[in-house]
Amino acid sequence: MTLQLLREWPPGFGGVERVAHELAVYWQTQGCPNTVFSFGGAHIDRLPGDDPLPVPYGRVLLPRLRLGRLLLPMPSRPLWHLLRSPEPLHAHLPCPGVLLVLVLACVLQPRRQLSVHWHAFLDGGLHRAYQQLALAVVRWLPLVVTTSPPLAAGLVRRGCRPSRVRVLPCCLDAAGETAALALPERPHAASLRVLFIGRLDSYKRVDWLIQALAALPQPWQLDVVGTGPRRAAFEALAHNLPVRFWGRLEEQAKHERLAQATLLVLPSDRCNEAFGIVQLEAMASGLPSLAFDLPDSGMAWVGRLPRLQWSMAPVDLADVLARLAADPVALAVLGRQARQRYQRLFARSVWLRRLDRLAWH
């Protein structure tokens, strides 16, 4: 059996939860029972058996303590079982609560098989202090899995041994991949149809995207899928512009938006946005994906295409959008290249081969 620990309830909507979910499903199908422990998320208060997201593996919700935005698992019988179990433990960072449990597991059972999934680096004062503690622990573990070469390089620069760091890019679930690859190639669209998918928070910089599009001389349309605390502000900024806010959509409706779009843009300005799974959804659907080239983020690496040369800097976003809007033939070629890159690097068959080669335990 393999145990996983993360903050939120999987599969969830975020990348960390979806990665943990895919690992759990894989191990379950390989005859290795898997239990996922978590202590956060909207489902923490649901009654036993009232599960809107049933999965084929076990899940345990740990009692939690909330201190502002900080969540910590409270002492409990399930937590004690997690700490004292002899089974391998795979922890998903960043999360202070997960790091605390990982340290306790190291102290209580020094010979236990422990590994970490390093999903992102963080910026900022308290985040930086937490990250230094996390790196001090992680660099001693025998296996650190991360999602892209830029993140692997960042871990090595900070003291992790190269032989212990492994890259396992994120993947789509089987149904999502099938639906995306089934979408036909885009014709040469008469206007630029841009898509954004994600949580509407400040660091997502949908405001930068709206401002860049508003400066274009060519016609354009923007579809925004997702919700969050900045939605009202973004809607006010987009007043009288060809922008539609769809809110959170079910998978079929989201694929309808992907089928109508010609370009995905994720203009996040922080390295905690390290790998957008929606980039994979777009690329499998035949859409190029634009993201900024930020230190310690894999976003630019995921969607990099040989025929799309630009600085990947926020200051040049309007310029690259104008070039793509003016050349629909080139945009269609980039869509084909995006799907080819997806199939070469990120397809589930590739992910499964990488996972099989990974010396996990």
Strands annotated E in the chain: 2-5, 34-38, 58-61, 64-67, 70-73, 89-93, 114-118, 144-146, 165-167, 192-197, 220-225, 243-247, 263-266, 289-291
Residue 231 tokens, joined: 């939605």
pTM: 0.92
What domains lie within the chain, and their CATH numbers? 2-168 (3.40.50.2000), 175-346 (3.40.50.2000)
At 112, give phi and psi (nearest 5°): -70, 145
Quick: pLDDT tens for 3-31: 999 999 888 778 999 999 999 999 998 88
Quick: pLDDT tens for 27-68: 998 888 889 999 986 544 444 455 667 889 999 999 999 988
| Separation of alpha carbons 280 and 171, rounded Å | 7
Query: For residue 52, what are the contacts with CB-CB under 8 A and spacing of at least 6?
Result: 43, 46
Q: What is the mean pLDDT of residues 275-282?
A: 94
State residue 47's pLDDT score. Answer: 44
Asked if residue 249 has pLDDT above 60, the reply is yes
Radius of gyration of the chain (CA): 21
Q: Which of 90-108 are b and which e, b meaning 16 or more Cβ less than 10 Å from the residue's Cβ? A: bbbbbbbbbbebbeebeee
Q: What is the dihedral of CA 94, 96, 97, 98, to 10 degrees?
A: 40
- Locate all alpha helices (DSSP H) within 158-314, ordered by sequence: 174-181, 206-214, 231-237, 251-260, 277-284, 299-303
Share of the chain above pLDDT 90, in %: 79
State residue 41's pLDDT score. Answer: 65
| Separation of alpha carbons 320 and 298, rounded Å | 20
Helix (H, G, I), strand (E, B) or coil at 353: helix
Q: Which residue has the tokens 């898509």?
A: 195
Helix (H, G, I), strand (E, B) or coil at 242: coil
